[in-house]
Chain A
Amino acid sequence: MTTLGDAWSWLTDPAHWAGDDGIWHRLTQHLVLTVVCLLLSCLIALPVALVLGHLGKGGALAVNISNVGRAVPTFAVLVLLLLTPLGTWGDGPTVVALVLFAVPPLLTNAYVGMRGVDRGVVQAARGMGMTGRQMLWRVELPLALPLVLSGIRIAAVQLVATATIAALAGGGGLGRIITAGFNLASTPQVVAGAILVAVFALLVEAAFEVAERFAPGWARNRGRAGG
């Protein structure tokens, strides 16, 4: 396994960690990109899903439309956006492509969670004289929260994975180490970059797992609806 050995020596070389092309810089870019896209897609998907779920209308349509998005390669969206006038504006295309990609799991999970709230409970809340707004915030949302949170988890992990594609289109992030390795025909660097990306993705997954384990009971994952 000389390749792994070479990859290890590439990783342990301090020169590869510093500077603008260094691992630390790429890691920070990757993290920032993921967090920004996750926040934006939550801001877009969650209000829509919660309102549609509360009204009980149009949600199936929204879920179906967003699932069709699965068929659209993120890479294709990214390149298409790059060739539009938007392409000249820094990370713009990458952020738009990633947000489009992260919306479906968020929307599906939040909507299914809202619809999964026991109708009897909702009726009881209505019987107690709660207004629609009160019902949404005090009854439906807390009960739907586990599914909403697991949607956020799925979206976060998929974002970390997909943010690597930004590198193919010249964006930042950990994927850059891999694409640079391909351009230099340096297999050790490609493998080292891949290990870094994989470890980072697994760490994010593990962080959610740990957070879930220590979360209070009402926020715990009771099931997953879609991904």
Chain B
Amino acid sequence: MTAPPDDCLARNEWICGEYLSTRRQILLDAVVQHLQLTSLSVLIALVVAVPLAVLARRWGWAAGPVLALTTVLYTIPSLAMFSLLLPVYGLSASLVVAGLVLYSLTLLVRNILAGLRAVPEDTRQAARGMGYGPVRLLLTVELPLALPAAMAGLRIATVSAVSLVTIGAIVGFGGLGNLIYTGMNTYFKAQVLTASVLCVVIAVAADLLLLGVQRVLTPWERATRAVRP
């Protein structure tokens, strides 16, 4: 009979290199799932939010209902959101993605709309005077000028999504949240700490990446303006 190994895993320490080397595959899978869930939901939210914001800008009467609806969605707690969608999607990854899309909508619609509204009337008039039609005006003047505010919203939405994915653990699709959840039940300190730190690292990395994208896309804008709900 061999003696039990006396390493940091056996001693259940917070920081443990042994954990990293023995569970590399599990960690990698969780990170991949986390990234997939986050990026998919933010992308879908973006695809939905842009038309909504443009419509709300074009027709003033639509702005009230659109903003009210997305704000109400934002107010619903995440745990409740996932649960309310349960009958529709069942226990699946789509459930988590759908919930996160609804969350990101508020932040994105608000910011894109604020950006569109901030386009000076003079600029729009000038473009019209140069013979720009409504579509060209929107694509080449209004949307680029709304980009800084939209990107600010996108950054907040992405960072929030990274942290909300963890709640998906309740239906088994929480990326790193799964590790935190099981680590809590088994009192596995290294797993909880490692997964939490990875969450923060992903969030910060995503934020910096989007900041870089924003700088590349808006060379004329150096000072970023953040609009938050």
The answer to whether A197 touches B192, judged by C-beta atoms less than 8 angstroms apart, is no
Q: A79-B180, A225-B228 given as contacts; is B192 within 8 A of A165 (CB)?
A: no
Determine if A168 is an interface residue (Cβ-Cβ < 8 Å): yes
Main DSSP-derived SS at the B contact region: helix
With A and B bound together, what is the CA distance between A165 and B79 in angstroms? 7
Q: A73-B199, A75-B180, A227-B228 given as contacts; is B80 within 8 A of A178 (CB)?
A: yes
- The residue among A75, A161, A224 with the most chain B CB atoms within 10 A of its own CB is A75
Using Cβ atoms and an 8 Å threshold, which residues of chain B touch A4?
A: 87
* Cβ distance B154 to chain A, nearest Cβ, rounded Å: 14
Q: A83-B189, A168-B169, A169-B184 given as contacts; is B80 within 8 A of A71 (CB)?
A: no
Interface 0/1 of B112-135, CB less than 8 Å to A: 000000000000000000000000
With A and B bound together, what is the CA distance between A141 and B228 in angstroms? 22
Using Cβ atoms and an 8 Å threshold, which residues of chain A touch B226?
A: 226
Determine if B33 is an interface residue (Cβ-Cβ < 8 Å): no
Interface 0/1 of A100-127, CB less than 8 Å to B: 0000000000000000000000000000
Closest to A205 in B: B75
Q: Which of B62-88 contact A (CB under 8 A)?
A: 72, 75-81, 83-84, 86-87
Using Cβ atoms and an 8 Å threshold, which residues of chain A touch B145?
A: none
Of the four ranges (under 10, 10 to 19, 20 to 34, 35 or more), the interface on chain A belongs to 35 or more
Q: A194-B83, A224-B229 given as contacts; is B75 within 8 A of A79 (CB)?
A: no
Determine if A41 is an interface residue (Cβ-Cβ < 8 Å): no
Q: How many A-B residue pairs have CB under 8 A?
A: 136
The answer to whether B77 touches A164, judged by C-beta atoms less than 8 angstroms apart, is yes
Of the four ranges (under 10, 10 to 19, 20 to 34, 35 or more), the interface on chain B belongs to 35 or more
The answer to whether A178 touches B159, judged by C-beta atoms less than 8 angstroms apart, is no
Interface stretch, picked from A45-53, A185-193, A213-221, is: A185-193
Closest to B83 in A: A194
Determine if B170 is an interface residue (Cβ-Cβ < 8 Å): yes
The answer to whether B204 touches A71, judged by C-beta atoms less than 8 angstroms apart, is yes
With A and B bound together, what is the CA distance between A205 and B177 in angstroms? 28
The answer to whether A161 touches B170, judged by C-beta atoms less than 8 angstroms apart, is no
20 residue pairs A–B, Cβ–Cβ below 8 Å: A4-B87, A68-B204, A71-B163, A71-B204, A76-B180, A76-B199, A79-B180, A80-B192, A164-B79, A164-B80, A175-B77, A178-B83, A182-B171, A190-B86, A191-B83, A193-B80, A198-B80, A202-B72, A202-B76, A225-B228
List A residues at the B interface (Cβ < 8 Å). Answer: 3-4, 68, 70-77, 79-80, 82-83, 154, 157, 160-162, 164-165, 167-169, 175, 178-179, 181-182, 187, 190-191, 193-195, 197-198, 201-202, 205, 224-227
Add 12 more A-B contacts to A72-B163, A168-B169 (CB < 8 A): A70-B160, A71-B203, A72-B203, A76-B180, A76-B199, A77-B196, A161-B78, A165-B78, A165-B167, A187-B87, A191-B87, A201-B75
